[in-house]
Amino acid sequence: MTIELASKIRDIPDFPKPGIQFKDITTLLKDGAAFRAAIDGLLERIGPRKIDVVVGMESRGFIFAAPIAYKLGVGFVPVRKLGKLPADVVSVEYELEYGSATLEMHKDAMAPGSRVLIVDDLLATGGTVAGTIELVKQLKGQVVALAFLIELSFLKGRDRLKGYDIITLIRY
């Protein structure tokens, strides 16, 4: 199944800037069977872990985090870029493969002690997820696992996420 899914992802060289090989998941998403297999595959790996809330990052993370939250029967919390959330926020500055930015989460997004699953489409350097972990910690949430459709293992994101339970379906 993993091999089939990988064949649905399109490589776009030099996007959004020279030297970046962009993994375009729109070719997977538009294929109903592949999209379902991606969500089901992640859910299978998530297994019996006890989760209270799923946190997903703008914007491709939402696509995977929301159906996983629905299926687990728990809430979904969005992490957004600077200035997008309307109520009081916690925020963190983070680095990513191509730039740096600020991530925010609503202050009342979760109760202290909540068991959190963080979901994004792709793990590259790990900067985005490290920032998201920081936000969850500010709200005293407990990170149970990190789940990604794709892992770019050559960027060594795992090295900065030592001690965390990392789930990935497709590795390059």
Taking the complex as a whole, how short is the minimal distance between the CB of residue 53 and ligand AMP, in angstroms? 19
> For this structure, is 158 an active site residue?
no
CB 42, CB 25: distance < 8 Å: no
Binding residues (CB under 6 A) for ligand AMP: these are 20-23, 57, 60, 96-97, 120-128, 157
Nearest CB to ligand AMP, comparing residues 85 and 120: 120
Q: Which is nearer to ligand AMP, 140 or 156 (CB)?
A: 156
Does 115 participate in catalysis according to the annotation?
no
Tell the smallest beta-carbon distance from residue 111 to ligand AMP (Å): 26
For every residue of 109-155, DSSP letters joined together read SS-TT-EEEEEEEEESSSHHHHHHHHHHHHTT-EEEEEEEEEE-GGG
* Among 99, 151, 97, residue whose Cα is nearest residue 120: 151
Burial class (CB in 10 A: 0-12, 13-18, 19+), 90: middle
3-state secondary structure of 97: coil
**Which residue in 49, 58, 60, 134 is the catalytic one?**
60
C-alpha distances in angstroms, 39 versus 119, 128, 147? Answer: 11, 21, 11
Cis upstream peptide for 112 (omega within 30°): no
Report the residue number, 19 or 112, with the smaller CB distance to ligand AMP. Answer: 19
**Closest separation in Å from C-beta 124 to ligand AMP:** 3
Q: 53 or 122: whose CB is closer to ligand AMP? A: 122
Shortest separation between residue 26's beta carbon and ligand AMP, angstroms: 11
Which residues are catalytically annotated? 60, 97
